[in-house]
Amino acid sequence: MATDRRKFLKQFGTSVLLTSASLTSLAAKEEHEKRILQAEKRVSPNDKIRIATIGMGIMGFNDTHAALTVPGVELVAACDLYKGRLLRAKEVYGSNIFTTDNYHDILNRKDIDAVIVATSDNWHSPISIEAMHKGKAVYSEKPMVHHISEGLNEIKAQQETKAVFQVGSQRVSGIAFKKARELYQAGTIGKINAVEASFSRQSALGAWQYTIPLDASPQTVGWEQYQANSKVKHAYDSNRFFRWRNYREYGTGVAGDLFVHLLSGIHFITGSKGPDKIFSIGGLTYWKDGRNVPDVMSAVISYPESPEHPAFQATLRVNFVSGEGDRASTRIIGSEGVIDMSDGGGFTIHKSKMPVAPGYGGWDSFGTYPEAMQKAIVEEYNKKYSAADQQAPKMDDVVYHEPEGYNDSNEHFANFFDSMRTGKPVVEDAAFGFRAAAPCLACNDSYFENRIIKWDPVGMKLV
């Protein structure tokens, strides 16, 4: 897709690949390599960080893999409620790792320094809070909480325990997001007024119909434990366990799953603490497989003027039935340009500035006046505006590409372990994680309750 974009831009001559952009890309690569070297230097054999992963599903494996790319990190244990995934953990990471279906067994071990919480959304907060109280550093997957009511408690637990706690929205560590933030803050797109961001998908797997193992049953799945913190208990159902995203009881719908990535990126670039008004609509239009969350959802979110940014509005959409195919898009729109982060791997900034003069002719009333009047208007206009004032300034696009092979998840884990080793602040703390998650959860509330939700982004409270 990035190559297509490059081709497109070249073909139409609307952009050049700026030398400065290529240089920044190189600088970013050097910065990345330098950090890895520094991490390697700091690690002595007794400086190992011993980790365990709780929730050994798709993201548990991905996160563990990313964590182990950081020098000096060792996996010692894994926890999951499906027996097959514990077997798989031993197949992948060696039969000597400790496995259990009870996360307390992990939290009670003194030889574990950090845990990755990669369970379904319903367990992020209770496990993370308990882990911090047990002296562990915590990497919690997004969204930080299942319910807005859990957020402040989790922030308090972090403040009381002083645990190293980082939320897992990897784009916050992404090199392209860092560069986009620098350029945004340097005023490259003028004054921000709108953001448009979306995810489009067109497949069963994209719509969360994940493969269910053939031995799935109450004998192989810890179903009772799984729904221990649910208000309403359901009889065992493989769909509810292996495709939990489709049920509000365990997941947070498209808003908690995907809007949260969009808002994390937007908040990171703009420095925003969040919106004050949230409204969303949605519908279950195609994937009618028993799920109780929409497969198409749109939200309109209002960001008030704040010390960090002018007022702007964001429109978000997830569409799991999109004839557009798989596509992700984030466009940050300002008065003098747009940062287009669509399809990952970098971004393009299209710059456009209004001329000083308003112009005449074209779709205008000018041509409706008598010839003598038109002549007089042109004379007047040319007296008032210089030739330069009459032209829109010509500005080149900026194109930025991540270094070859760059992976923001690896970077996010490197940052997490750096914080553990050096005590420097994490890149995505509990307040940031909650400020990104809460408005997304409010999108669900808005849709299900058919009302506008008001939010205090500074105090992190519903209004």
Ligand X SMILES: NC(=O)c1ccc[n+]([C@@H]2O[C@H](COP(=O)([O-])OP(=O)(O)OC[C@H]3O[C@@H](n4cnc5c(N)ncnc54)[C@H](O)[C@@H]3O)[C@@H](O)[C@H]2O)c1
Residues that bind ligand X (CB under 6 A): 54-60, 79-82, 85, 103, 118-121, 123, 141-142, 168, 170, 225-226, 244, 257
CB–CB of 79/101 below 8 Å? yes
Q: 184 or 259, CB closer to ligand X?
A: 259
Q: 295 or 397, CB closer to ligand X?
A: 295
Q: 141 or 411, CB closer to ligand X?
A: 141
Q: 117 or 192, CB closer to ligand X?
A: 117
The nearest distance, CB 250 to ligand X, in angstroms, is: 8
The nearest distance, CB 60 to ligand X, in angstroms, is: 6
Place of tokens 């569409």: 319
CB within 8 Å of 173: residues ≥ 6 apart:
408, 411, 412, 414, 415, 427, 428
Edge-to-edge strand ranges of the sheet holding 137-140: 98-100, 73-79, 49-54, 114-117, 137-140, 165-167
Q: 80 or 276, CB closer to ligand X?
A: 80
Q: 103 or 447, CB closer to ligand X?
A: 103
Q: 155 or 440, CB closer to ligand X?
A: 440
The nearest distance, CB 226 to ligand X, in angstroms, is: 5
The nearest distance, CB 434 to ligand X, in angstroms, is: 15
Q: 123 or 432, CB closer to ligand X?
A: 123
**Which residue, judged by CB position, is nearest to ligand X in the bound state?**
57
The nearest distance, CB 161 to ligand X, in angstroms, is: 20
The 3-state secondary structure of the chain, one letter per residue: CHHHHHHHHHHHCCCCCCHHHHHHHHHHHHHHHHHHHHHHHHCCHHHCEEEEEECCCHHHHHHHHHHCCCCCEEEEEEECCEHHHHHHHHHHHCCCCEEECCHHHHHCCCCCCEEEECCCHHHHHHHHHHHHHCCCEEEECCCCCCCHHHHHHHHHHHHHHCCCEEECCHHHHCHHHHHHHHHHHCCCCCCEEEEEEEEECCCCCCCCCCCCCCCCCCCCECHHHHCCCCCCCCCCCHHHHHCHHHCCCCCCHHHHHHHHHHHHHHHHHHCCCCCCEEEEEEECCCCCCCCCCCCEEEEEEEECCECCECCEEEEEEEECCCCCCCEEEEEEEECCEEEECCCCCEEEEEECCCCCCCCCCCCCCHHHCCHHHHHHHHHHHHHHCCHHHHCCCCCCCEEEECCCCCCHHHHHHHHHHHHHHHCCCCCCCHHHHHHHHHHHHHHHHHHHHCCCEEEECCCCEEC
The nearest distance, CB 298 to ligand X, in angstroms, is: 20
Q: How far apart are CA 229 and CA 236, in angstroms?
A: 15
The nearest distance, CB 98 to ligand X, in angstroms, is: 14
The nearest distance, CB 436 to ligand X, in angstroms, is: 12
Q: 82 or 347, CB closer to ligand X?
A: 82
Please count the CA atoms within 13 angstroms of the CA of 307 that sit on its side-chain side: 2
Per-residue tokens: 434: 């909650």
Q: 227 or 319, CB closer to ligand X?
A: 227
Q: 143 or 346, CB closer to ligand X?
A: 143
CB–CB of 134/162 below 8 Å? no
The nearest distance, CB 147 to ligand X, in angstroms, is: 14
The nearest distance, CB 59 to ligand X, in angstroms, is: 3
The nearest distance, CB 233 to ligand X, in angstroms, is: 15
The nearest distance, CB 85 to ligand X, in angstroms, is: 5
Q: 130 or 396, CB closer to ligand X?
A: 130
